[in-house]
A = this chain, B = another copy of it.
Amino acid sequence: MDLEKYFDRLWPICRSIMGEGTRESLRILDEVMPMDRLTYPTGTKVFDWTVPNEWSVADAYIIDPKGVKRAEFKKNNLHLLNYSSPFRGKISLEELKKHIFTDPDMPEAIPYRTSYYKEQWGFCLAHKELQALPSGDYEVVVDTALKPGQLEIGEAILPGDSKEEIIFSSYVCHPSLANNELSGPLVLTKLYDKLKAMPKRRYTYRFVLSAETLGTIAYLSTRGEHLRKSVVAGYVITCVGDSGPFTYKFSRRSDTLADRAAQSVAKEAKTPWRWERFDPSDGSDERQYCSPGFDFPMGSLMRTMYGKFREYHTSLDNKDFVAFAAMDGSVEEYLKIVSVLEGNEVLKNASPFGEPQLGRRGLYSMVGEVKVSNFVGTVLWLLNLADGTNDLISIAEKSGKPISEVIETAKILKEKGLLVPVS
């Protein structure tokens, strides 16, 4: 899957929580990851929320007193307040300013703003442009519509030997923004592509592309009960396209399998990861997955976290800001997590009274050496800690051995009959 090709096709589309932009985006990603749709018509109750009208945009712009066309939606869809209600009219600069959003801290950038649940119209401008607006009367055109429609969520499943599930979730509800959010659905889709190619999967994998907050709440209203029984670990994939080091945000309980697998992968990383505690006051869909009624074992592996890069939610979060190699690296890191999850298990030493004789099994140097080899070291740690209580992640933690070596060595010891699964 060539990420850049898909990025270029997805970039110009004006997505929102509902509407044609989202539908078109899902259709494009269907080419790689065929998704079922879950649909929620306007007015549907989903837990505490009600699905609103669907938004569509024909055009939107301002014409200033000198006849200059500004804030053109067709040039940059961020100019239009997302979910702006329709308006047409001639108003004074003073009146217009009440409908304009800027970010004075980043005077060159168009900020991204939304108003899903309060009917209002508005434009987003670079603060610099706002300050240069000549006085006089402005012609305003917001040619949008808010009509009954439906919220749509894409879902794909890769079955595995077990009905236990690993879930990856991202969202397609932002207009032309690159790291947050196109990197999320792109990495998720490529991850699907890679996992589809695996000859054997222990776990079932679930991929969700929803609208942030509302979409995920709707999804949980349908799938929550099922997931409560099936999810063993999951991750919200977002902000995975910049070149910064990885950041892991813990799940609500902070010690779930999702967190432990991520931590074990981090220990083998060349560049140290950054760590963020679970924080329901600043986050993405883990706020929903980890709401107290669900409390799923779900964290989020990102690169630079939302809110921690200046470009976040502005027109500067564009193709220049992201790197496709970084997105590929994010896919790889998620695959490492998958490989830990697939390999992790609780094993028991079949010969737990004293050490088994490794030499006659070809697992030990036949001449006594001062220090045992790294491999033998891992063997001895595994045999000692495999008492039916520690999983391999825990054995890696306690021994200080890399998780990949622990999993690999455990495989050999299982073949030799020295370790057996705890049934």
Interface string of A87-128 (1 = CB under 8 A from B): 000000000000001000000000101111110101000000
Copies of this protein, total: 3
Q: Are B224 and A353 in contact (CB under 8 A)?
A: yes
- State whether the Cβ of A295 lies closer than 8 Å to any Cβ in chain B: yes
- Give the residue among A114, A292, A378 with the most B Cβ atoms within 10 A: A292
- State whether the Cβ of A170 lies closer than 8 Å to any Cβ in chain B: no
Q: Are A377 and B282 in contact (CB under 8 A)?
A: yes
Q: How far is the CA of A118 from the CA of B370 in the complex (A)?
A: 17
Q: Which residues of chain B are near A377, meaning CB under 8 Å? A: 281-282
Q: How far is the CA of A313 from the CA of B369 in the complex (A)?
A: 9
Shortest C-beta distance, A277 to chain B (Å), equals 9
- State whether the Cβ of A44 lies closer than 8 Å to any Cβ in chain B: no
Q: How far is the CA of A48 from the CA of B416 in the complex (A)?
A: 13
- State whether the Cβ of A366 lies closer than 8 Å to any Cβ in chain B: yes
- State whether the Cβ of A238 lies closer than 8 Å to any Cβ in chain B: no
- State whether the Cβ of A312 lies closer than 8 Å to any Cβ in chain B: yes
Q: Are A353 and B49 in contact (CB under 8 A)?
A: no
Q: How far is the CA of A354 from the CA of B216 in the complex (A)?
A: 8
- State whether the Cβ of A352 lies closer than 8 Å to any Cβ in chain B: yes
Given contacts A118-B366, A307-B371, A357-B117, contact A351 B384 (CB under 8 A): no
* Stretch in contact with the other chain, from A150-158, A240-248, A283-291, A336-344: A283-291
Q: Which residues of chain B are near A323, meaning CB under 8 Å? A: none
- State whether the Cβ of A230 lies closer than 8 Å to any Cβ in chain B: no
- State whether the Cβ of A356 lies closer than 8 Å to any Cβ in chain B: yes
Shortest C-beta distance, A373 to chain B (Å), equals 10
Q: Which residues of chain B are near A275, meaning CB under 8 Å? A: none
Q: How far is the CA of A200 from the CA of B252 in the complex (A)?
A: 37
Given contacts A282-B377, A380-B287, A384-B252, contact A370 B292 (CB under 8 A): no
- Give which listed residue, B49, B368, B383, contacts A114 with CB less than 8 A: B368
Q: Are B114 and A281 in contact (CB under 8 A)?
A: no
Q: Are B281 and A355 in contact (CB under 8 A)?
A: no
Q: Which residues, 288 to 308 on A, are CB-close (under 8 Å) to B?
A: 288, 290-295, 307
Interface string of A42-53 (1 = CB under 8 A from B): 000001110000
Q: How far is the CA of A122 from the CA of B367 in the complex (A)?
A: 10
- State whether the Cβ of A280 lies closer than 8 Å to any Cβ in chain B: yes
- Give which listed residue, B82, B113, B281, B384, contacts A292 with CB less than 8 A: B384
Q: Are B114 and A292 in contact (CB under 8 A)?
A: no
Interface string of A225-263 (1 = CB under 8 A from B): 000000000000000000000000000100000000000
Q: How far is the CA of A240 from the CA of B372 in the complex (A)?
A: 22
Q: Are B293 and A367 in contact (CB under 8 A)?
A: no
- State whether the Cβ of A387 lies closer than 8 Å to any Cβ in chain B: yes
Q: Are A115 and B367 in contact (CB under 8 A)?
A: yes
- State whether the Cβ of A381 lies closer than 8 Å to any Cβ in chain B: yes
- Give which listed residue, B49, B293, B371, B385, contacts A282 with CB less than 8 A: B371
Q: Are B355 and A217 in contact (CB under 8 A)?
A: yes
- State whether the Cβ of A349 lies closer than 8 Å to any Cβ in chain B: yes
Q: Which residues of chain B are near A67, meaning CB under 8 Å? A: none
- State whether the Cβ of A35 lies closer than 8 Å to any Cβ in chain B: no
Given contacts A48-B351, A81-B367, A288-B355, 14 further A-B contacts (CB under 8 A): A47-B353, A47-B354, A48-B354, A48-B356, A111-B370, A116-B368, A122-B367, A217-B355, A220-B354, A281-B376, A291-B354, A292-B349, A293-B354, A307-B370
A-B contact pairs, 17 of them (CB 8 A): A47-B353, A47-B354, A48-B354, A48-B356, A49-B354, A111-B370, A114-B367, A117-B360, A117-B366, A252-B384, A280-B380, A281-B377, A291-B354, A292-B386, A292-B387, A293-B352, A307-B371
